[in-house]
Amino acid sequence: MHRRILAGDRLIAAFLTGCALFNYPLLSLFDRPTEVFDMPVLYAYIFAAWALVIALMAWAVERPFK
């Protein structure tokens, strides 16, 4: 029971994190014509944030709680 509540809370946190990262205005901070790691900064940012949110979700549901 406890586990489920915690997993749920973590997923909601991941959801809210994603909502913030994937939308205006955070998105606009990276909307500029420069490059990082040989790719447009916006493109790099979205994929990095995306991977982060997925990692958060995996952590939320798969990692056993102590």
Q: Which is nearer to another protein, 62 or 66 (CB)?
A: 62
Among 27, 63, 65, 66, binds another protein (CB under 8 A): 27
CA distance 45 to 38: 12
- Contact pick of 3, 5, 6, 8 for another protein (by CB under 8 A): 8
- Residue from 6, 29, 58, 63 that binds another protein (CB under 8 A)? 58
Q: In angstroms, rounded to a whole number, what is the distance separating the alpha carbons of residues 35 and 13?
A: 30
Residue 44's nearest CA partner among 29, 56, 58, 57 is 29
- 36 binding another protein? (CB under 8 A): no
